[in-house]
Amino acid sequence: MTQVFYSSTFFGAMTLASAMDAGRFGPHTGRRILLVSGNASVPEVTPALDEAPGFAALRRRFDEVRSWNEVIAPLHPSDWKARIIEVPMLGRLLSSHLSLDDGVEELVLESIAVPPARTVAALIRDCPITVYSDGLMSYGPTRDPLPLEISGRITRLLHLDLVPGLTPLLLTEAGVPADPLPDDTFHHILTEVSTPPPPDQATYGNTGGPATHGSPGGAMILGQYLSALEIVTADEEAELHAGMLRALVARGHTNVLFKPHPAAGRHHARRLREVAAELGVELTVAGETVPAEVCFQTARPALVVGCFSTALMTAHRLFGIPVATMGCDIVLERLVPYENSNRIPVTIVDATVPRLAPDGSITDPPQTDLPGLVNAVGFCMQSENHPSLREAAARYIETHGTQARYFKTRRLTSVGLLPTPDPPKPKPLSRLRRALSR
């Protein structure tokens, strides 16, 4: 029998390797296939996951590594899904392409609610599904409803324990239990992929010279791809990165490592280099395919700054590195619709991570009941799928107030946590209007 694994990020592949080493998939007695997918806007010009430095350390755990992009080319993995009438035929073709005649023992997927994982689940049928999480989104509700032929096959959710004491909401509406992975196996994976240090990094700044890694004790900025998600404009995202860099300079940092998001392209780094040159800062830009966690392992930054990246939590939780956030207030205000799956990650970071100000000062966020907040926001996002959270959500709102930062009055009203306001009473007609109306 064959086990089929799917991953679109290096972090996800490391999570799979960690779960394997922890024995979550049993002994390696059958065939194991890893399907890799490049979901960047233009995947053709973005290095594939299995081409990343350090992937060789993970490859030995799989018998074959296959490209989902090549299977469905020239279609984009995030956009394409099989039509219902095509599923039987395309399922047979995929089974033949991957030589799955002996059957599939287990299908292991990330981001099950959307393509390409949802597409793969629809085509590889008649087997149990394990879902694994590669980030903070596991603590939020399932983004889109899943058909019973998929949700009924999911047996468990594997996840890193990034926020101790917080239980994932993902797939709980389908009765799927969460299974946290041990920290030590993930640390072991990081050691494997970090040796030797990643070679595809380059330094830019007032010196313009090359370097192979960031300066120990320096600071690190985590880039995301907020403009690609249409949360902010490209100029606003560039200014957010520039603001982080200026704040770090205000704190006395002269060596900064910038880690772009793998799906963001290179324009973020280009614009930040210009700001670094103006400030006289030595800026090191990590390679696109180098995971942030590898940078934590090799560069050991003194401070990591980002907006709401999952890597903020791995830096603090797994490496003990101080972290700070900037820009969560803008994202919380701009996220639409309310049920946007990024809402829980940004809520967790905003509520727990110290905040970096433009003058370089760092302040702790107000103390909050994080499980209560996450359950209340999760209920407001998907109230129909999580009716059992209504009482806890109402109790949180009653105790802490409506907190405009996290809740919209209109949303609270629509899910029944605030009473519907009475319609405004019509103003009495003036004598003239009365006379005219006769």
pLDDT of 290: 83
pLDDT of 223 reads 94
Tell me whether strands 282-285 and 202-204 are parallel, antiparallel or unpaired.
Answer: antiparallel
pLDDT at 144: 87
The answer to whether 17 and 58 are in contact (CB under 8 A) is yes
Which of 180-184, 195-199, 385-389, 412-416 shows the lowest per-residue confidence on average (mean pLDDT)?
195-199
Cβ contacts of residue 396 below 8 Å, gap of 6+? Answer: 369, 372, 373, 375, 376
Please give the pLDDT value at position 152: 96
Specify whether domain 202-363 bears CATH 3.40.50.1980: yes
pLDDT of residue 126: 92
User: Are the beta carbons of 121 and 129 closer than 8 angstroms?
Assistant: yes
Q: Which letter does DSSP use for residue 137 in this model?
A: G
Sign of CA dihedral 307, 400, 412, 159: positive
- Nearest C-alpha neighbor of 24 from the set 186, 176, 188, 181: 181
State the chain's mean pLDDT as an integer: 90
Q: What number is the average pLDDT over the span 23-32?
A: 96
Average pLDDT over residues 403-409: 94
Q: What is the Rg, in whole angstroms, of the alpha carbon atoms belonging to the chain?
A: 24
What is the pLDDT at residue 203?
Answer: 37
Q: State percent of the chain over pLDDT 70.
A: 90
* pLDDT for res 432: 56
pLDDT in the model for residue 207: 33
Q: How far apart are CA 17 and CA 13, in angstroms?
A: 6
Weakest-pLDDT range from 210-219, 288-297, 343-352:
210-219
Listed by start position, the domains of the chain span 2-193, 202-363, 370-414
Distance (Å, whole) CA 292 – CA 260: 9
Is residue 346 within 8 A of residue 331, CB to CB? The reply is yes
Give the mean model confidence (pLDDT) for residues 348-356. Answer: 98
Confidence of residue 19 (pLDDT cuts 50, 70, 90): very high
The answer to whether domain 2-193 and domain 202-363 are alike in fold is: yes
Q: Which residues, including other chains, have CB under 8 Å from residue 361's CB and lie 6 or more apart?
A: none
User: What CATH class is the domain 2-193?
Assistant: alpha beta
Using one digit for the tens of pLDDT, what is the confidence trace for 152-198? Answer: 999 999 999 999 999 999 999 999 999 999 999 999 998 898 875 44
Nearest to 249 by CA among 274, 215, 283: 283
Predicted local confidence at residue 436, as pLDDT: 59
Q: Cα-Cα-Cα-Cα dihedral of 120, 126, 127, 130, to 10°? A: 50
Residues 122-143: tens digit of each pLDDT: 999 999 999 999 789 999 999 8
Would you state the pLDDT for residue 24? 97
pLDDT digits (tens, 9 = 90+) for 238-265: 999 999 999 999 999 999 999 998 777 6
Residue 89: CB atoms within 10 Å: 11
Q: What percent of the chain has pLDDT over 90?
A: 76
Is residue 116 reached through a cis peptide bond, with omega within 30 degrees of 0 on the bond before it? yes
Q: Which helix (H) or strand (E) holds 192?
A: helix 183-193
* 429 pLDDT more than 70: no
